[in-house]
């Protein structure tokens, strides 16, 4: 399957005037398809005349809830030692470590396709949103957020592809704060303190920058490459300079201190994205005979016997339902949305909800609860004059996109990510133990954005390398609001209902308002003044009745133009048995079900202070270490 971008015919509203919806937008996307639509794994398979392992395909399952109806007497299911569901940030790590044991046969199932080449180009990251490698989820209205968005719903992109969201995200490598993991341990999760998890961050890390000199905090021998972009433009440096001038020190976020500013490190090497698929699977996929990788294979049920032991899964591939059996364990790594969805489809979840959907209850657990994300919003716009802007003509954009494909040294504008990687952390109250505000940014064309903010936000197809405005985003790192995920009663196997519940607790506005006050003060720095940068003081449509820049205006923007930080966690909460909301124990075993674990961001009891890709990789390392200990013993 080739990569397919967002369908502009469906996405573009009538009478919009943004460039993405013009004839040029169609030309541009078609060029991306032609140059970057294929994938390295597809090409490798062709070269090797690769044929997928023979499937002992089972007949189509008529009744998903009764194992005895799956097979005829002369049919046998696929047999493995371990089945890993989901090839995302954690799942790729898990599959890699398990398959290192030659005597174990490991099956890695991914609902999405092979990772296309377009994912490798940092500057094209926003073109991945809404494409066929994005689950393209959206939130349910709560009357307190996303109010100016269509249907009062916020978009929730998640990766549906080899590498999962690590293949479509903005690539920042930020671990969170020491306080986060010590809190996890204090909640009754031994083995998860900062001291415990730091070795697992370092194990997978292959740091290429000066941070690598500090071996206390960084690793240099792991599979996951970490570095700064080879191309960092002047507006990006302007943001870092301004934060620094306003009092934030230049720091290594992943070292001894998080409070500060810097061009963040990312999961890149030599100007290309290194997803967990690139890092952990591609290097071994065609070398380890005991690792079977199946993309385009969506798991719809975990098989559980009368003794409450997981012994396999049912997945759909090429329109057929196929069963695979696991001798040792089934490991669910579908992520914060799809892991709870799969558990509930398999009868593990809140008994009232499953009863309403006529799903036989196997284990009553608080699956889908404890949903958390870092609430943020768009709306404040930093305009850049021509001398500072990186805007490019249509011809220049096409030339850059075309030339990157054949460049031997990838260090041009597309090998960076614009101002997206200008990241800072502050405390909204000096007495806090750790930062509670993160600043990140989007980039845009300010003339278009001021007129049609929600349309521009929803159709971000052009490279992040070319822009004349920055959209700084103030993120609340310690939200008190909690949401939940439920199955969709009209189609339980379709997109679940996501109740993000942004600002359900009004206290979540406090850090954001304080953070914006600091943000607006940057206009007075020499970094801004020397470049002619300034905040556009035209109120956006939904808040035009309020005075720009006031606290009330900030509150209106936050509620109207709410946005996800794409950091959802918590829906299969890790906790001690005494925690009524816990789904997995501290070794990530599902309570009440033998041979079943969840290893991904959904187990995080509290969202870390920062981007969640690096913590998800760590969870993969920490979780699979428990698996290895349980089956091989401690070494």
Residue 137 lies in a domain: no
Strand 106-109 versus strand 78-85 pairing type:
parallel
Structure tokens at 433: 């133990």
Ranges in the chain, pLDDT < 50: 50-75
User: Can you give the pLDDT at residue 60?
Assistant: 35
User: Can you give the pLDDT at residue 49?
Assistant: 58
What is the pTM assigned to this prediction?
0.95
Residues forming beta bridges with residue 90, ordered by sequence position? none
Strand residue runs (E) in 306-432: 310-317, 320-332, 348-349, 363-364, 375-377, 382-383, 422-426
Query: Tokens 């500057």 correspond to what residue?
Result: 123
Q: Do residues 382 and 531 share a domain?
A: yes
Cα dihedral sign, 510-568-126-491: negative
User: Can you give the pLDDT at residue 76?
Assistant: 60
Domain boundary pick from 564, 581, 610: 564
Residue 554 lies in a domain: yes
Residue 461 lies in a domain: yes
CATH number at residue 403: 3.30.410.40
Domain boundary pick from 546, 564, 582: 564
CA distance 494 to 563: 23
- What separation in angstroms does the CA of 386 have from each of 417, 466, 467? 19, 12, 10
Residue 489 lies in a domain: no
CA distance 308 to 341: 19
Contact predicate 77/607, CB 8 Å: no
Residue 495 lies in a domain: no
- What separation in angstroms does the CA of 125 have from each of 6, 81, 432, 463, 465? 13, 36, 34, 8, 10
Query: Tokens 């800072």 correspond to what residue?
Result: 424
- The answer for residues whose C-beta is within 8 angstroms of residue 289's C-beta and 6 or more apart is none
Is 569 marked as a binding-site residue? no
Q: Do residues 358 and 238 share a domain?
A: no
Tell which residue, 607, 374, 380, has the closest CA to residue 503.
Answer: 374
| Residue 239 domain boundaries | 8-37+229-263+374-479+506-564
Q: Do residues 549 and 592 share a domain?
A: no
Query: Tokens 């009357």 correspond to what residue?
Result: 143
Q: Do residues 78 and 96 share a domain?
A: yes
Is 161 marked as a binding-site residue? yes
Query: Tokens 């349980």 correspond to what residue?
Result: 630
Q: Do residues 282 and 363 share a domain?
A: yes
User: Can you give the pLDDT at residue 71?
Assistant: 36
User: Can you give the pLDDT at residue 544?
Assistant: 97
Q: Do residues 455 and 475 share a domain?
A: yes
Residue 155 lies in a domain: no
CA distance 461 to 36: 14
Q: 604: left (phi > 0), else alpha (psi -120 to 50), else beta? A: beta
Helices (H), 19-171: 23-36, 40-47, 91-99
> Could you count the other beta carbons within 10 Å of the beta carbon of residue 430?
6
Our count of domains for the chain comes to: 2
- The answer for residues whose C-beta is within 8 angstroms of residue 601's C-beta and 6 or more apart is 89, 90, 335, 336, 568, 569, 570, 612, 615, 616, 619
> Could you count the other beta carbons within 10 Å of the beta carbon of residue 70?
20
Structure tokens at 438: 């993160």
Q: Do residues 379 and 314 share a domain?
A: no
CA distance 359 to 349: 10
Q: Do residues 55 and 28 share a domain?
A: no
Residue 219 lies in a domain: no
pLDDT, tens only, 464-504: 999 999 999 999 999 999 999 999 999 999 999 999 999 99
Residues in the chain: 635
Structure tokens at 224: 């996951």
CATH number at residue 111: 3.50.50.60
Identified catalytic residue from 206, 567, 594, 635:
567
Q: Do residues 348 and 292 share a domain?
A: yes
Q: Do residues 410 and 536 share a domain?
A: yes
Query: Tokens 């998903």 correspond to what residue?
Result: 64
CA distance 121 to 406: 12
Domain boundary pick from 564, 584, 599: 564
Backbone torsions φ then ψ of 503, nearest 5 degrees: 60, 25
Contact predicate 348/593, CB 8 Å: yes
Q: Do residues 412 and 521 share a domain?
A: yes
Cα dihedral sign, 265-269-275-276: negative
Q: Do residues 547 and 525 share a domain?
A: yes
Backbone torsions φ then ψ of 159, nearest 5 degrees: -75, 125
Active site residue 567: yes
Write out the DSSP string of 116-150: BGGGG-GGGGGGGTTSTTB--EEBPP-SSS-TTSG
CA distance 208 to 35: 29
Residue 143 lies in a domain: no
Contact predicate 467/388, CB 8 Å: no
């Amino acid at each position: 399957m080739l990569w397919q971008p967002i369908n502009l015919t469906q996405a573009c509203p009538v009478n919009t005037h943004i460039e993405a919806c013009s004839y040029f937008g169609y030309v541009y996307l078609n060029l991306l398809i032609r140059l970057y639509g294929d994938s390295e794994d597809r090409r490798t398979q062709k070269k090797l005349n690769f044929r997928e392992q023979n499937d002992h395909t089972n007949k189509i399952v008529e009744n998903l809830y009764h194992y005895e109806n799956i097979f005829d007497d002369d049919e046998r299911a696929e047999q493995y030692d371990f089945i890993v569901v989901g090839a995302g940030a954690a799942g790729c790590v898990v599959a890699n470590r398990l398959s290192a044991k030659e005597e174990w046969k490991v099956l890695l199932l991914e609902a999405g396709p092979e990772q296309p080449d377009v994912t490798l180009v940092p500057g094209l990251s926003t073109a991945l949103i809404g494409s066929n490698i994005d689950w393209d989820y959206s939130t349910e209205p709560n009357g307190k957020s996303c109010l100016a968005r269509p249907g009062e719903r916020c978009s929730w992109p998640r990766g549906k592809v080899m590498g999962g969201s690590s293949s479509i995200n903005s690539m920042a490598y930020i671990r969170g704060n020491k306080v986060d993991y010590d809190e996890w341990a204090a909640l009754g999760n031994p083995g998860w303190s900062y001291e415990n998890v730091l070795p697992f961050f370092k194990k997978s890390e292959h740091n290429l920058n000066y941070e690598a000199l500090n071996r206390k905090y960084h690793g240099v021998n792991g599979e996951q490459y970490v570095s700064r972009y080879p191309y960092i433009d002047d507006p990006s440096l302007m943001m870092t300079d301004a934060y620094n001038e306003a009092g934030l020190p230049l720091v290594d976020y992943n070292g001894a201190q998080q409070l500060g500013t810097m061009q963040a490190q990312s999961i890149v090497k030599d100007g290309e994205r290194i997803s967990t698929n690139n890092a952990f699977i591609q290097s071994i996929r065609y070398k380890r005979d005991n690792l079977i990788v199946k993309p385009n294979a969506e798991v719809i049920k975990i098989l559980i016997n009368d003794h409450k032991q997981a012994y396999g899964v049912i997945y759909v591939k090429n329109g057929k339902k196929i069963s695979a059996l696991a001798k040792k364990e089934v490991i669910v790594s579908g992520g914060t949305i799809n892991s709870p969805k799969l558990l509930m489809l398999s009868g593990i979840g809140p008994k009232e909800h499953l009863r309403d959907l006529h799903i036989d209850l196997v284990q009553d657990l608080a699956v889908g609860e404890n949903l958390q994300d870092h609430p943020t919003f768009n709306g404040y716009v930093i305009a850049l004059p021509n001398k500072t802007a990186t805007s490019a003509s249509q011809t220049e954009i096409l030339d850059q996109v075309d030339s990157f494909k054949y460049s031997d040294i990838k260090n041009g504008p597309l090998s960076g990510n614009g101002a997206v990687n200008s990241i800072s952390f502050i405390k909204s109250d000096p007495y806090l133990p750790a930062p509670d505000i993160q600043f990140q940014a989007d980039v845009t064309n300010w003339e278009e954005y001021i007129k049609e903010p929600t349309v521009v936000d929803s159709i971000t197809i052009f490279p992040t390398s070319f822009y004349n405005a920055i959209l700084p985003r103030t993120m609340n790192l310690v939200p008190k609001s909690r949401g939940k995920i439920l199955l969709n009663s009209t189609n339980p196997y379709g997109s679940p209902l996501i109740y993000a519940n942004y600002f359900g607790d009004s206290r979540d506005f406090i850090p954001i308002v304080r953070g914006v006050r600091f943000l607006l003060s940057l206009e007075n720095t020499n970094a801004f003044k020397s470049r002619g940068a300034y905040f556009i003081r035209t109120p956006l449509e939904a808040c035009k009745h309020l005075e720009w820049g006031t606290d009330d205006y900030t509150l209106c923007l936050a509620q109207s133009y709410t946005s996800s930080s794409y950091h959802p966690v918590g829906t299969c909460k890790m906790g001690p048995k005494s925690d009524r909301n816990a789904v997995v124990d501290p070794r990530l075993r599902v309570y009440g079900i033998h041979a079943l674990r969840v290893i991904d961001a959904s187990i995080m009891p509290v969202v870390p202070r920062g981007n969640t890709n690096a913590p998800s990789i760590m969870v993969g390392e920490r979780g699979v270490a428990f698996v290895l200990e349980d089956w091989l013993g401690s070494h």
